[in-house]
Amino acid sequence: MARGAMRCGMRWANLRAWRSILPLLLAVILGVGCALRTTPTAPLPSPSAPLEWQPASAGLPAARPVLAFAADLTDPALMLAATIAPPQLYRSLDRGASWQPAGRELERRLVHALLAVPEANGIFLAGASDGLFRSDDGGVTWRAIPDLPQPIVPPQGLERQGRSVYALQAAADGALYLAGEDIRPWRSLDQGVTWQPLGALPAGAALLALAVSADGSRLLAGSDGAGLFSSDDGGQTWQQAADVPTTFVAGLWFDPADNRLAYARKIGRAS
């Protein structure tokens, strides 16, 4: 890929292999009914040390891919996982050693994203096929957030009351962001109770991914065919990355130590 500079000062280039940004202590693999976790060790391994992994799928259906995952930051034993085909939310109270169905309100809803609200014990958000949902009791019960716009065409066989939400992100200052079936990202300043729209992307595409830099000064948004966009004014205006072609960008991550370094997952490879 030819290299060029974005107006925000970032350059993008293809990577031939995935690069690890953080020494993750737990991850969910998007495979057929498979979740994995690291083996607890004391002391914690250094960032360069290899991690040991073990299955964490007890109670999850064997033939359902895991689409979304979140762990409570104040109670690491509390975790949520969302599967597909058919859609179902699961809850763990033992760091993923076992799982039980939860969230009757989310039945038949495809959950694309889960977020544990920082510094809020037991509060989770779920980005679903028909809008945004919030739980105040650790994922046991859920209610819809009404601020988001309504859908155009409901997908066959799924409940549908709002637009799909594909990505949820939390900034260091407590602000929450979401992206989905809308040309604008949305932001919440009250732990996800109410939401306000930000600036629309120039290309007018739906958004599949979001990332917020560690200091909150920069936002990235990945679209469903129009490429990658960046904002340096809190999401009010957006500039397209010249280095990333008009493609699907489905994942975005900032390096927590340097907001000039970020990673984008597009269809086929990372950039």
* Whole-number Cα distances in Å, 208 to 29, 56, 76, 94, 252: 19, 27, 27, 31, 9
What per-residue confidence (pLDDT) applies to 12?
Answer: 64
The whole-number mean pLDDT for each consecutive block of 10 residues of the chain, a chain of 271 residues, reads 41 46 29 44 58 78 85 92 89 92 91 93 92 94 78 42 83 92 90 90 84 90 91 93 84 87 76 54
What per-residue confidence (pLDDT) applies to 153?
Answer: 38
Q: E strands of 72-214, at which residues?
A: 79-83, 88-92, 100-102, 111-116, 124-128, 131-135, 143-144, 165-170, 176-180, 186-188, 196-197, 207-212
Question: Whole-model pTM?
Answer: 0.78
Place of tokens 């409901």: 154
Q: How many helices (H) and strands (E) does the chain have?
A: 0, 22
List all residues 6 or more positions away from 7 whose beta carbon is below 8 Å from its beta carbon.
230, 239
Point out which residues pair with 71 in neighbouring strands. 79
